């Protein structure tokens, strides 16, 4: 199969320390967590583990293209002799915004992944304590 199964806190810690060992999609199978939560968190981990920042990069690129287009038309007076230079500045603006969006997207994905892993760890620890004492 194309999945790596995580069933214990030790395996979760191993994943947290070295995600590259888990190049496949993750399946969570914690006994103390119900199946719905296991599936939800596995989906969240897989989405954020493999994120590349493309969605926010695309959004920032589209916004920067629109900004550049409106700046060239309104402020930069298209029919002036410096039109070519303005287009070059526009391309630079689009590139910078795209990279900024991509970096923000990667940062958000990394934050979501850390948050999801922390939530899983807390849930498993609390539920295992409950099952041991209950």
Q: What is the pLDDT of residues 31-72, one digit of tens each?
A: 888 889 889 998 998 888 888 888 888 888 899 888 878 877
Give the model confidence (pLDDT) of 24-42 as tens digits.
788 888 888 888 988 999 8
Count of structural domains, the chain: 1
CA distance 16 to 12: 6
pTM equals 0.74
* Adjacent-strand bridge partners of 25: 3
Give the model confidence (pLDDT) of 96-130 as tens digits.
988 999 999 999 999 998 999 999 988 888 865 44
Q: Is 3 helix (H, G, I), strand (E, B) or coil?
A: strand
Domain extent, residue 32, equals 3-133
The owner of tokens 């209950």 is 134
**Any residues with CB less than 8 A from the CB of 84 and at least 6 apart, and which?**
none
């Amino acid at each position: 199969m194309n999945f790596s199964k995580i069933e214990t806190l030790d395996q979760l810690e191993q994943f947290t320390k070295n995600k590259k060992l888990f190049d496949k999609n993750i399946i969570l199978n914690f006994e103390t967590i119900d199946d719905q939560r296991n599936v939800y968190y596995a989906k969240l981990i897989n989405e954020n583990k493999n994120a590349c920042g493309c969605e926010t990069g695309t959004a920032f690129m589209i916004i920067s293209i629109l900004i550049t287009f409106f700046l060239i038309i309104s402020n930069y007076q298209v029919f002036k002799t410096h039109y070519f230079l303005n287009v070059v500045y526009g391309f630079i603006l689009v590139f910078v915004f795209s990279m900024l969006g991509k970096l923000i997207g990667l940062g958000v994905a990394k934050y979501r992944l850390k948050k999801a892993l922390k939530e899983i760890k807390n849930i498993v620890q609390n539920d295992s304590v409950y099952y041991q004492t209950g």
